[in-house]
Amino acid sequence: MLLQDILAAKRDGQALSSEAIRQFVMAIADDSAGQEQIGAFAMATYLNGMTLDETVALTEATRDSGSVLDYRQLDLPGPILDKHSTGGVGDPVSLILGPWLAACGAHVPMISGRGLGHTGGTLDKLEAIAGYDVTPRRTTFERLLKDVGVAIVGQSGDLAPADKRLYAVRDVTATVASLPLIVASILGKKLAENLDALVMDVKIGNGAFMANDDETRTLAATIADVARRAGTPTTAVLSDMNQTLAESAGNAIEVRECLAIMRGEQRDSRLLTLTRRLAVEALLAGRLATSKEDAERQLEARLASGDVAERFERMVAGLGGPTDLLENAGALPAPAPVIQDVLAEHPGRVARQDVKALGMAVVELGGGRRRAGDAIDHRVGLDAIAAIGQTVDRHTPLARIHAASQADADRLAARVREAFTLGDEGTPPPLVHETLC
Ligand code: URA
């Protein structure tokens, strides 16, 4: 079939066959489709949508457009599990969840991304640790997966290459916000990890990738459905992003918060609670636990034994970081030179956080990128972020700014203050809105 015939069918609102979709995606991957054809495909799909069958075909073709990980020669004793998030602010779940699942007997080939827009990125956080290499050799990745049980790394060029090209075209043709294209893009990459089960953490709320809650629910349901039909059992958890998950947002600051949790120094936090909920789903899906209670019991035992922190340390060491991260404060950059409170104008209770604004404040401080390729200052960001329902006053700030200079702190203080609304309501939103499997 000519590519233009496929385009004409999609333009005219017809459902494409799996073969036609696969042919088009392979043409994207091997560069035989021109940029204008890819743009036309993206726009026709954006305007006319896709059926569930077409979305499954697009996802499978994206997954198969490059190499799919193969673990047969590793002879792994446990299931291969992973979690993926649609992106949040103050959301370093992966850093704790990966080693936690590994401590319970899973193998976690966690291929992660960088910050996008107002959201933070797992790789940017890990690169706050001196020496951490997110692009290790294949043999290093495989050794860690087998011996430590977890390797959190970046995407290599041969994983779902069609998505890379299609995403770049979508970005400049106003076609990012298309449900089938988003689903195939996210899952095409994740399913190339060849998992036994996946947990998708779909963020819902004002800081989520999709601002509209109904669209987010549809995204979660479609992801779970498409992934399952593509052969990977998947649980989608709709978790709250109407406030930052962690008490901090910013690369090294979030790593410190994660280390405190893994060391057992911080037992009561939303970050720990959500991470545990996601881990329970993963252990059940991977048949490492027989019930929710069994999963929770295993998770508590592994955390209390220090195994989670130790596995994180071993993964960091295996990827070029220090061998003694848990004891070595110098592996993370020194705190930012300016750390100052952002106080509310009058005492009150936090009723709302504008999470997107807080994420953009971290980017503006230098903790994220305004343009691809920008350098990141791992020291900067926010901590002591007041949660919804929390009382603030002259002594309890809305947040603390960590800035590279006094000028940056002064410039961003008003922006951070305006991101909080004080009021009488202040009822904390649920941490998990819904679980779909
Ligand atoms: N994340 C992705 O990887 N792809 C999309 O299309 C949107 C978010």
- Whether the CB-CB separation of 403 and 202 falls below 8 Å is answered with no
Q: Could you tell me which of 134, 192, 184 has the C-alpha nearest to residue 160?
A: 192
Which residue's alpha carbon is at the smallest distance from atom 7 of ligand 1?
A: 182
Distances (CA, A) of 212 to 177, 205, 206, 240, 267: 12, 8, 8, 13, 33
pLDDT reported for residue 211? 80
Within-domain flag for 331: no
Q: Check whether residue 26 and residue 152 sit in a common domain.
A: no
The pLDDT score that the predictor gives to residue 425 is 74
**Given 318, 350, 374, which residue is the final one in a domain?**
318
* Same domain? 201 vs 236: yes
User: Over the stretch 148-176, which tens digit does the pLDDT of each residue have?
Assistant: 999 999 998 899 999 999 999 998 999 99
User: Residue 197: left if φ>0, alpha if ψ -120 to 50, beta else—which one?
Assistant: beta
- Say if 180 falls within a structural domain: no
The CATH number of whichever domain residue 197 belongs to comes to: 3.40.1030.10
**Number of domains observed in the structure of the chain:** 3
pLDDT at residue 116, rounded to an integer? 84
Q: What is the pLDDT of residue 56?
A: 98
270 plus 402 within the same structural domain: no
257 Cα: distance to centroid of ligand 1 (angstroms): 27
Take atom 6 of ligand 1 and give the residue whose Cα is closest.
182
Q: Read off the pLDDT of each residue in 6-15 and give the average, rounded to a whole number.
A: 98
Q: In what side-by-side order are the strands of the sheet with 420-422?
A: 391-392, 348-353, 420-422
Q: What's the count of helices (H) and strands (E) in the chain, helices before strands?
A: 16, 12
**For residue 332, is it within any domain?**
no
- Are residues 347 and 267 part of one domain? no
**329: confidence class by pLDDT, cuts 50, 70, 90:** confident
Closest by CA to 55, choosing from 190, 223, 232, 191, is: 223
- pLDDT for the residue 251: 98
> How close is the Cα of 182 to the center of ligand 1, in Å?
5
Residue-wise pLDDT for 262-304, tens only, equals: 999 998 899 999 999 999 999 999 999 999 999 999 999 999 9
* Residue 226 pLDDT greater than 80, yes or no: yes
**Whether 36 and 132 share a structural domain:** no
411 and 298 housed in the same domain = no
Name the closest-CA residue to atom 3, ligand 1. 186
Distance 410 CA to ligand 1 centre (A): 34
Which of 55, 167, 171, 187 for mutating ligand 1's site (highest number of atoms within 8 Å of CB)?
167
Residues 138, 209, single domain; the answer is: yes
Per-residue pLDDT at 374: 87
Indicate whether 409 and 355 sit together in one domain: yes
Ligand 1 pocket test, candidate residues 175, 182, 200, 201, most atoms within 8 A of CB: 182
**Does residue 15 form part of some domain?**
yes
DSSP tag of 323: T
User: How far apart are the C-alpha atoms of 227 and 229, rounded to whole Å?
Assistant: 5
Give me ligand 1 centre to Cα 198, in Å. 16
Ligand 1 atom closest to Cα of residue 185: 4
Q: How many CB atoms lie within 10 A of CB 237?
A: 26
Ligand 1: atom nearest CA of 167 is 6
Residue nearest to atom 1 of ligand 1 (CA): 186
**Structural domain of 126:** 72-156+190-318
Could you tell me if 136 and 156 are in contact, meaning their C-beta atoms sit under 8 angstroms apart?
no
Three-class DSSP category at 436: strand
Residues 151 and 236 reside in one and the same domain: yes
Whether the CB-CB separation of 385 and 249 falls below 8 Å is answered with: yes
**370-419 confidence digits (pLDDT tens):** 887 889 999 999 999 999 999 999 999 999 999 999 999 999 999 999 99
* Residues forming the active site: 82-85, 122, 170, 185, 189-190
Given ligand 1 and candidates 175, 186, 198, which is best to mutate, with the most ligand atoms within 8 Å of its CB? 186
Question: 175 CA distance to ligand 1 centroid (A)?
Answer: 11
Which ligand 1 atom lies nearest to the CA of residue 182?
Answer: 6
Would 177 be classed as within a structural domain? no
The enclosing domain of 350 has a CATH number of 3.90.1170.30
Ligand 1, CB cutoff 6 Å, lining residues: 176, 181-182, 185-186
Give the Cα separation of 69 and 120 in Å (integer).
26
Same domain, 149 and 206: yes
Q: d(Cα 383, Cα 255) in Å, to the nearest integer?
A: 12
User: Which atom of ligand 1 lies nearest, measured to the CA of 189?
Assistant: 3
In contact, 353 and 242? CB cutoff 8 Å: yes
In a domain, 435, yes or no: no
Residue 437: inside a domain, yes or no?
no
Same domain? 403 vs 314: no
Q: Yes or no: say if 154 and 161 are a contact pair by the CB < 8 Å rule.
A: no
Q: Are residues 300 and 356 in the same domain?
A: no
Using DSSP, state whether 348 is helix, strand or coil. strand
Q: By alpha-carbon position, which residue is closest to atom 2 of ligand 1?
A: 186
Q: How far is the CA of 185 from the centre of ligand 1 (A)?
A: 5
Q: What's the whole-number average pLDDT of the chain?
A: 96
Within-domain flag for 61: no
How much distance in Å is there from the Cα of 209 to the middle of ligand 1? 9
Residue where a domain stops, chosen among 318, 348, 380? 318
pLDDT > 90: percent of the chain: 93
